[in-house]
Amino acid sequence: MKKLFYFMLCLLLFLAACGNNDESKDAASKENTETKTYTTGEGDKVQIPKNPKRVLDLTANYGNFKKLGIKPIAITSVFPDSKYLDMANIKKIDPEDVEAAAKLKPDLIITYKENKNNKKLEKIAPTVPIKVQNMDYKDTHIEIGKLVNKEAKAKKQASKLSSKLAKDGKEIKKAIGEDKTFSIMDIQAKDIYQFGPRFGRGSEAIYEGFGLKEDPEAKQAMPKEKFMKVPKEKFNTYSGDYLLVPTKDGQKPNNDFVKSNTWKNNQAVQNGNVVYYAMDEAIYADLISVEKQADLFKKELLKNK
């Protein structure tokens, strides 16, 4: 009789465990299939997974996902690797290669609005086109957080970095002067390009993070796209008190322009206020990259102060 009792008890516990396991599976299955409505910056509504598991990132926002603890199944191959983001071992695909995207079986695709194959990508999985020029680095991170159901975490992270950079900006301005102006210029052999806020190249750290000022004449001439080609005769006109120069290797360019009198007569050059830094790390504007860029800029700007 006692053996029969124990047998029945074990059977009941086994059935209960099976039932709980089935309930857990059902709950997990329901969680994986739940969707929510996401509204893009253009006002379009997209049904996306509430908790996406296979995110395909076809933008330059890999660092935002990394900061949030999300590893995309692949990222775009368009942009270079950054030592700040440890991108060497993650799969990369052409952002316009629809066949490659389909083979990955994503449940959410993040792309740029300008991608010509967005309509085709939409047939593979819910596709969200973003236009980052409409957002600062903090808002971009929060939007990525919304997409992967980590909005609260994203807000906390963005606020923490914003506070840190604002504090660092005050320290920098106290050391070099409140009204010093800054210009970000890519000095190539034949052409010069200048970048404004929200265009990578460290602009998020300099202008939005630290709150430093653009050169006023460059700011007035800057088109809405926030980058422009600078005629060599305008180089000194658009160059601020400090000149920030992203280069391939983070070193001073070796070309005829930096040997010219125009360069040598530049105020920032004469005052030793030129900062060179690596382009590959500077094109990104995620929280990880912006913080690393800011650390570099702060160190350089406070050097010898």
Domain ranges of the chain: 35-131, 166-302
Spell out the residues 6+ positions from residue 271 whose beta carbon is closer than 8 angstroms to its own.
241
pLDDT at residue 40 greater than cutoff 90: no
Query: Residue 3: what pLDDT?
Result: 47
Model confidence band, residue 305 (pLDDT cutoffs 50, 70, 90)? confident
Measured CA distances, 86 to 62, 63, 80, 81 (Å)? 10, 9, 11, 8
Residue 21 — pLDDT band, cuts 50, 70, 90?
low
Asked if pLDDT for residue 133 goes beyond 50, the answer is yes
Q: Residue 158: is its pLDDT beyond 60?
A: yes
Looking at residue 70, the DSSP 8-state letter turns out to be -
The phi and psi torsions of 214 (rounded to 5 degrees) equal -75, 155
Is the pTM above the cut of 0.85? Answer: yes
- CATH architecture label of 166-302: 3-Layer(aba) Sandwich (3.40)
| Residue that wins the pLDDT comparison between 305 and 84 | 84
Q: What is the pLDDT of residue 263?
A: 96
Report the run of H or E that residue 276 belongs to, with start and end: strand 274-278
Encoding tokens for residue 297?
A: 């800029």
- By C-alpha distance, which of 177, 217, 304 is closest to 169? 177
Q: Is 150 helix (H, G, I), strand (E, B) or coil?
A: coil
Largest Cα separation within the chain, whole Å, is 105
Inter-residue contact 163 to 199 (CB < 8 Å): no
Q: Flag whether pLDDT at 197 surpasses 70.
A: yes
Residues of the chain with pLDDT > 70, as a percent, come to 89
90 close to 290: Cβ distance less than 8 angstroms: no
Q: Side-chain half-sphere of 139: how many Cα atoms within 13 Å?
A: 11
Superfamily, domain 35-131: Nitrogenase molybdenum iron protein domain (3.40.50.1980)
Would residue 290 be called left, alpha or beta, if left means φ above 0 and alpha means ψ between -120 and 50 degrees? alpha
**35-131 and 166-302 agree in CATH topology:** yes
Q: What is the mean pLDDT of the chain?
A: 90
| Residue 217, number of CB atoms within 10 A of its CB | 15
Q: Which residues pair with 75 in a beta bridge?
A: 57, 92
Say how many CA atoms lie within 13 Å of 271 toward its Cβ: 12
Instruction: Give the confidence band of 18 by pLDDT, cuts at 50, 70, 90.
Output: low
Backbone CA torsion sign across 51, 111, 63, 301: negative
Q: Is 285 exposed, middle or buried (0-12, 13-18, 19+ CB in 10 A)?
A: buried
